[in-house]
Amino acid sequence: MIKAQFSFHPVGQGCFYTGGINFNLNKINNTFHFVYDCGTMSKNVKINNVIDKYKKTNYYPLNSDKQNLDLLVVSHFDKDHINGIKTLLTQFTIKRVILPYLSKTSRLMYGLMYLKELNAINDFIDLENKIFNNDTQFLYLKEVSESSENLFNTDNNNEGNENNDFFINSQTLNNEVSNKNTYNSLHITIYNLWEFKFVNLKDYTKNYNDKINDFENNVKNSDFYLNKELNDKTLTALKKIYKDVFKGSINNTSIMMYHNLKYNNKLKHIANSIHFNNYNVNTNINNHNHFHYYKHNDCFCLYDKEYQCCKYCHCNTGTFMFGDLKLKSKKIYNFFINNFNLELIKVLVNQVPHHGASKNWNTKLLNDTSAIIYVCNYGLKNIYNHPNYQVFSNIVNSRNIFLPNTENLILNYQFCFF
């Protein structure tokens, strides 16, 4: 049996998504744990409390002070997606981390843009050594151009076997970036039964490369390029250079993730269950032709109307996590369609990109994927007016299910396969 449970935790204006996939079949008895982003900008959320509740879920042994986390995925380096990671590290030993590949100059730029304190910027520039444990393995995803296609076609046909608890079916780019486990894309299988696909897409601001070169030329003689830590004097000078060059604008980059059961005709999918607490159920859910719901205690539960194996529910158990990806960009959206054409019809859940911002939304998503559940993580009374009302209207008017993931609302969903 495979029992997979996934959660959008209540962090408000941010993202904290987790998964536990329990394998109990043949000679395998193990659970694979992963986290996609961990952060919030909602002042009324105590991220350490949310992480502590996650740690106490059923899939973790209760007799261990520090748990193992098999994989942490950092979609991008905005505060609301990463500022809980230090707390996460106090509770978990993280085996592997997937990060966007950033040059030293790019890390400095992100540090200057998002971080205020000197120590925080120095930690970010050398985060592998200053934040994570020495035993953590780092996998880097290089930004790919919007015109790239067929990233998941590989000559490596060995997709692992049931003994591979973490198999990477992708080729590194070590010839381009020395001493880095760097990839154009990542295709990972767990016991050859569950698969993950990752790609790092970027939407460039105007004249971005020229600005990078200009910035690098201005800072090349600073302590930063002499392999020293920044000091207060250097930091002040670099902030001025950054403001003069970028004037507040920077590129938009985000790692998107797809995960699902890898097709296996020996396994039968019995049922989905979806739980979301303290939420007034949209009528579209009750009228939907595939789901019904009932109220149990203070939790609304969605269940498949079909409890037996069928083609529809067997395939549609996938999830797309988009982070802050700008799907509204025609080039990025076409890239997404071209590279995930086989996965588009296998998804049940789509994360609404960038907290429901209109500039990141693409209505084509409603027709191009099989997803009927759209989860939007945002903070109540946030200053950005997320989610955009038109985005919300697009989703519910197409008879799909819009589920808010705020400070007060957690969403759990699970699948069982026998």
**Residue-averaged pLDDT of the chain:** 81
For residue 297, name the pLDDT band (cuts at 50, 70, 90).
Answer: very low
The predicted-structure confidence for 366-395, as pLDDT tens digits, reads as follows 999 999 899 999 999 999 999 999 999 999
Compare 69 and 293 and report the one with higher pLDDT.
69
Say which residue, 301 or 269, is predicted with more confidence: 269
Q: What is the pLDDT of residue 260?
A: 95
Residues 6+ apart with CB under 8 A from 292: 286, 302, 303, 305
Q: Which residue has the higher pLDDT, 313 or 272?
A: 272
pLDDT score, position 11: 97
Domain extent listing, the chain: 2-101+142-204+251-417
**pLDDT category of residue 9 using cuts at 50, 70 and 90:** very high
- 69, β-bridge pairs: 94
Please tell me the least confidently modeled range out of 94-98, 101-105, 289-293, 387-391: 289-293
* pLDDT confidence bin for 312, thresholds 50/70/90: very low
Q: What is the pLDDT of residue 58?
A: 56
Percent of the chain's residues with pLDDT above 90:
43
pLDDT, tens digit, for every residue of 346-362? 999 999 999 999 999 99
Share of the chain above pLDDT 70, in %: 76
Q: Which of 57-66, 134-143, 151-160, 263-272 has the highest mean pLDDT?
A: 134-143
pLDDT given at position 274:
64
Which is more confident, 208 or 137?
A: 137
Task: Say yes or no to pLDDT of 303 above 50.
Answer: no
What is the predicted pLDDT for the residue at 391? 97
Task: Give the model's confidence band at 151: pLDDT under 50 very low, under 70 low, under 90 confident, else very high.
Answer: confident
pLDDT classification of 295: cutoffs 50, 70, 90? very low
CB 51 within 8 A of CB 88: yes
Question: What is the structure's pLDDT at 158?
Answer: 56
Alpha carbon distance, N-terminus to C-terminus of the chain: 4
Cis preceding linkage at 387, omega within 30 = yes
- Say which residue, 8 or 278, is predicted with more confidence: 8
- Give the pLDDT of residue 110: 81
Local confidence band at 204 (pLDDT 50, 70, 90 cut-offs): low
How far is CA 243 from each of CA 20, 115, 204, 246, rounded to the nearest angstrom?
43, 14, 18, 5
Mean of pLDDT values over 245-268: 76
The pLDDT-based confidence of 293 (bands split at 50, 70, 90) is: very low
**What is the pLDDT, as a whole number, of residue 118?**
84
Please report which confidence band the pLDDT of residue 42 belongs to, taking 50, 70 and 90 as the band edges.
very high
- Give the whole-angstrom CA distance, residue 89 versus residue 38: 11
pLDDT at 278 over 50: no
**Does 2-101+142-204+251-417 carry CATH code 3.60.15?**
yes
pLDDT digits (tens, 9 = 90+) for 168-189: 988 777 555 545 689 989 999 9
Range in 115-129, 207-221, 235-249, 309-323 the model is least confident about: 309-323
The stretch 127-141 carries a mean pLDDT of 90
The stretch 283-306 carries a mean pLDDT of 43
Instruction: Supply the pLDDT for residue 89.
Output: 93
